[in-house]
Structure 1
Amino acid sequence: MEWYNEPPDWREAGDSLVVQAGPETDCWRVTLHDYVADDAHFYHRAVDGDFTATVEFTGDYESQYDQAGLMVRDSEERWLKCGIEYVDGAQQASAVVTREFSDWSVVPLDDDPASVWIRVERTGPAIEVFFSRDGREFTMIRQAYLTETETLRVGPMAAAPRGDGFETVFENFDVE
């Protein structure tokens, strides 16, 4: 595993990865806001072909757009980030698919769960994103075409576009 945009503070402890997201970090391309950001913290490894990646995580979300979850990345212009994004004072299940331009979708949650699980399944060029509150029952929240590139980088990500940063803890990251 290696960092793309190493955070100001992080540590591994057993199956846990604790990340302090730095301020004014994000991944976004052009849509609506007409800017490009590519400095979210992404701890990844290369994965060939089809895969299923899952992680459980918690976050001390405080500021608008604080976010944590999984990223699947081909290049600066082709990637997916998904997980929790803090929007208007509440956690939202979120997925951003970027193929030159970012395309964001959110699913409002009826509460702010202490921890959540995100799963990404790749089948050929397609990606599916699943959300769970218990790690057993998953609901699909997004399906999209991403890329035909064989080898992608996959792993936990965190960013704090507007705030001073926050701490998130990832547990049991797994790729099959």
Structure 2
Amino acid sequence: MTQQSRKRMDWKEGVWLNLPQSSREEGEALKVMPEKGGDFWKKTLYGFEFENGPALLADWDCNTAVEVSFHLGSFKELYDQAGLLLYHGPGQWIKTGIEINDGIPQLAAVVTDGYSDWSLAAVPEWAGEEVTVRASIIKDAVIIRARSKHHAWRTIRVARFPYPTGNQAGPYSCSPTRESFEVTFTRWDITAPDQDLHIDPPNV
């Protein structure tokens, strides 16, 4: 895929890993309401294991980057979350996006290989905006970045993801603690991969 190439995924190209409570297309957007109590987490600290959040996945060629965009207007309560799921198989996945914690939006990444870890970076200035999350593989690592409509790309995480084949990726959302949380996804793109860790991808 060339640097200029970009494919906008049709929502119907994805297959649900765990069905949401509801999903519907409105124009070019996809509105998703996850069922209360779903999440992705393995063992660490809490002891519990969840892999029951809704995610709309398609095959992901590691020679491409994947981007998902969504609005933050509905993010209000603790653990409201949405973004991008990179899925190799049960117990081997990364979820990354925005999660409400300490009352503000946080850039979050949960990296899982049998056990999960969790990283957060506060972005209160992104509240209410449209956010794009991007993943691109270089060698054995995935580079995860995010930006909002009015703020530049930020690198969230460099994480081990050593799976050359058998990967899927797409938008996910979870609502561990409340009913009626609905996310509006605006875009799901496959595009050219990052060329360098320290060079930002283009804005679209």
TM range (shorter): over 0.9
Counterpart of 2:4 in structure 1 is: none
Bigger CA radius of gyration? 2
Aligned twin of 2:163: 148
Structure 2 distance, partners of 1:130, 1:47, is 17
Does residue 28 (structure 1) correspond to residue 41 (structure 2)? The answer is yes
Give 1:134's aligned residue.
Answer: 149
What is the TM-score of this pair, normalised by structure 1?
Answer: 0.93
- Residue-by-residue CA offset, 1:64-119 (whole Å, 9 max, x unaligned): 11110000000111101111001121110111111111111011113324221111
- What CA distance in whole angstroms lies between the structure 1 residues aligned with 2:115 and 2:121? 20
1:37 matched to which residue of 2? 50
Shift of 1:136: 7.9
Tell me which residue corresponds to 1:82: 96
Gaps of 5+ in 1: none
Q: Which has the higher strand share?
A: 1
The C-alpha deviation readout for 1:48-73, integer Å capped at 9, x for no partner, is 23221112101412331111000000
Q: Name the stretch that deviates more: 110-119 or 26-35.
A: 110-119
Q: Deviations over 1:17-53 (max 9, x none)?
A: 1101110010000111011001111001012232211
Aligned-partner Cα distance in 2 for 1:97–1:9: 27
Identity of aligned residues (%): 28
Distance (Å, rounded) in 1 between the aligned partners of 2:66 and 2:17: 18
Counterpart Cα distance in 2 of 1:107 and 1:85: 10
CA distance in 1, matches of 2:67, 2:87: 15
> Structure 2: how far apart are the matches of 1:135 and 1:74?
32
The CA RMSD over aligned residues, in Å, is 1.6
CA contact under 8 A between 2:84 and 2:97: conserved in structure 1?
yes
Question: Is 1:49–1:151's contact at 8 Å kept on the other side of the alignment?
Answer: no
Distance, in Å, in 2 between the alignment partners of 1:174 and 1:20 is: 21
- Alignment partners' CA distance in 2, 1:90 and 1:137: 19
| CA gap 1:159/1:165 in 2 versus in 1, 3 angstroms | farther
Displacement of 1:13 after TM fit? 3.2
* Aligned residue type for 1:42: A
What residue number does 2:119 align with? Answer: 105
Corresponding residue pairs, total? 176
2:71 corresponds to which residue?
Answer: 58
Question: TM-score, normalised to structure 2's length?
Answer: 0.81
Q: What is the DSSP-based 3-state SS (H/G/I as helix, E as strand, rest coil) of the residue aligned with 2:152?
A: coil
How far residue 14 of structure 1 moved from its aligned partner, in angstroms, is: 3.9
